[in-house]
Amino acid sequence: MENIRIPVGIWVDTVFDWLKDNVAWFFDFITFLFTFLIDTLTNVLVDLHPLVIMVLLALIGWALRSWQMALGTFITLFFIVTMDQWVPSMQTLALVIIAAIIAVIIAIPVGILAARNDTASALIRPVLDFMQTMPAFVYLIPAVTFFSIGVVPGLVSTVIFALPPGVRFTELGIRGVDSETVEAGQSFGATPGQILRGVQLPLATPTIMAGINQVIMLALAMAVIAGFVGADGLGKNVVEAVASQNLPLGVESGLGVVIIAVYLDRVTAALGTAKDFPNSLIATFRGRSAKKKATAAQA
């Protein structure tokens, strides 16, 4: 038994070499696209005055939750500024936002497919199990192999690591919709697409939002680990603190991660319950517009 060895690593390395030689154009495109997205959002967040970002994020918290959250957001973000961790925090926030958006764009359609097709679900489930049980650091190895050192391998590994909960919760939410409700839609002649858009997705929204919440939390966790491959942000500061045994830098960077994590968690949780917020906002603007038109007509 000691002499029996299956060279799985060598096989995988051979596949990676073939991909690098034959699909290099695809990796170059991904590198260009991801670099553009990250750089654009990072420049916006960093170039704007911190006070503008603080007020904007506080207003989002107020609109979605309460004035207490708005006040807490403003105070904690000001705390980040006083620790001189603002720029790394915005770099991390940009990475998390882009990674979460990409992961959600992939996860929701895959989750819908898994919910509507048992064969697809049976094939997707072991892949998700593999993705969730693989140690986070392992994702950095193929990412660096294909994309070299920098923010792009960090973003790619973050997307892969954060993807599974989005797929699982989307499938769970759609499968959890009452079958009688779906049958009622079918009895009125609704097509599968109409039932999906008008019945299943709206009723599954709270569950899907819970999945998006988990996607964002995992993206933030992986964004810190991505500092090991050169991704700018709080993760890079943590790596530097570990390498140099710099306790103050490590504590300040860790607090920055906690503040961002708590804010994103509260916002996504509020989005899962504040289903009437967009409709009420639109109705408010429509009401004001109608009132202005009526006033103008009377004049």
pLDDT confidence band for 77 (50 / 70 / 90): very high
Q: What angle do CA 150, 156, 160 make, to 5 degrees?
A: 150
Share of the chain above pLDDT 70, in %: 90
* Torsion angle in degrees (nearest 10) through CA of 216, 96, 29, 151: -140
Tell me: pLDDT of 181 over 70.
yes
Assign 281 a pLDDT band (cuts: 50, 70, 90): very low
Instruction: Work out the number of other CB atoms within 10 angstroms of the CB of residue 17.
Output: 11
Residue 298: its pLDDT value, please? 55
Instruction: Please tell me the pTM assigned to this model.
Output: 0.82
Q: Say yes or no to pLDDT of 10 above 80.
A: yes
pLDDT in tens, 208-247: 888 888 898 888 888 888 888 878 888 888 888 888 888 8
Domains of the chain in sequence order: 9-47+83-298 (1.10.3720.10)
State yes or no: pLDDT of 274 exceeds 60.
no
How far from the centroid of its chain's Cα atoms is residue 60's Cα?
17
> What's the sign of the alpha-carbon dihedral 51, 52, 55, 58?
negative
pLDDT of residue 41: 92
pLDDT tens digits for range 101-141: 999 999 999 999 998 888 999 999 999 888 888 887 888 88
Instruction: Render pLDDT for 17-35 as a digit per residue (tens, 0 to 9).
Output: 888 888 888 888 888 898 8
